[in-house]
Amino acid sequence: MNKIANKQVICQVLMEKAKTDKDVVVLCSDSRGSASMTPFAENYPEQFVEVGIAEQNLVSISAGLAKCGKKAYAVSPACFLSTRSYEQAKVDVAYSNTNVKLIGISGGISYGALGMSHHSAQDIAAMSAVPNMRVYIPSDKNQTKCLTEALLGDEKPAYIRVGRNAVEDVYEEGNCPFEMDKATVVKEGNDVAIVACGEMVKPSLDAAKLLEKEGISAAVLDMYCVKPFDKETLLRIVSGVKAVITAEEHAPFGGLGSMVSQAVGSECPKKVVNLSLPDAPVITGTSKEVFDHYGLNAEGIAAKARELV
């Protein structure tokens, strides 16, 4: 079982780059511990900025450093980064097309028992609505490594959401089929297509394996690049199936399910069912307990696929 969280991988990649690139800077909002950025702060103190509990300042200072030629990584809980500092992310970073990477840690419902104030179930919709803002939700540590390395090579804004805890691998270490801004086809299939992002990719793949034993062929598409949205790959996968399921750790409006429905409805109309968190207060519990309660697990996804097929 993997014990390395995606946020730890981001820290490792940034530390490796910081050895030779003094323009790489990390900023935290009293969150270096929960963000797994303590090693970076200890090894590169002159490239680390602690702003305290001030997420709006975090984003604006990051934008200012970026305008001075720095490669700024603003790291903060996703629930605050995507709401409390939304105006700064919109104006100082996206509208200004500034080289700031916003790293939303402990995304979705991964803060568990802390409840809805610490959940980020609207960030896909909010961040995707802003021009110039790219949105990425990697599914495991291997894809996170590839994505972080790729983002170090460009100068455009981005919002990256990762969970709090380690998750099971979807891809093999050293053999992750990654292409920037291109969705990854994890499994081909011709009965139903399951489109997922983030922590929902692994249960979607497990669901496809359960269905395969029953003679149902399910395709699985990892849409880690929520924006820019890879419509070309999506339409290729869904064109040959009977129905489409989306799975996301997000509210039912404005997220991956809405994007997939819009693309499929306009290009190759067929039934699309969105599996998501409810439009209601989410129960309190661990990620697994919440996912199990709402059917956001292999069994729940497989059950919905059986209904459709």
Instruction: Kindly state the tokens that stand for 70.
Output: 């720095």
Confidence grade of residue 58 (pLDDT, cut at 50, 70, 90): very high
Residue 111: pLDDT above 90?
Answer: no
Task: Note the helical H segments in the chain.
Answer: 6-18, 38-43, 55-67, 78-81, 86-88, 123-128, 141-151, 201-213, 231-238, 256-267, 287-293, 298-308
Average pLDDT, the chain: 96
**pLDDT mean over 122-149:** 97
pLDDT number for residue 167 = 93
In the DSSP assignment, the letter for residue 162 is -
Q: Residue 240 in contact with residue 268, Cβ under 8 Å?
A: no
Q: Is the pLDDT of residue 125 over 80?
A: yes
Residue 293: its pLDDT value, please?
Answer: 96
> SS3 for 141?
helix
pLDDT value, residue 174 = 87
> What pLDDT does 223 receive?
98
Q: What is the pLDDT of residue 168?
A: 94
With bands split at pLDDT 50, 70 and 90, how would you rate the model's confidence at 8?
Answer: very high
Q: Strand locations in 139-242, DSSP E? A: 158-161, 184-187, 192-196, 218-222, 225-227
pTM: 0.96
For residue 167 the two structure tokens come to 């998750």
Average pLDDT over residues 61-65: 98
Tokens of 11: 């820290």
Residue type, 22: K
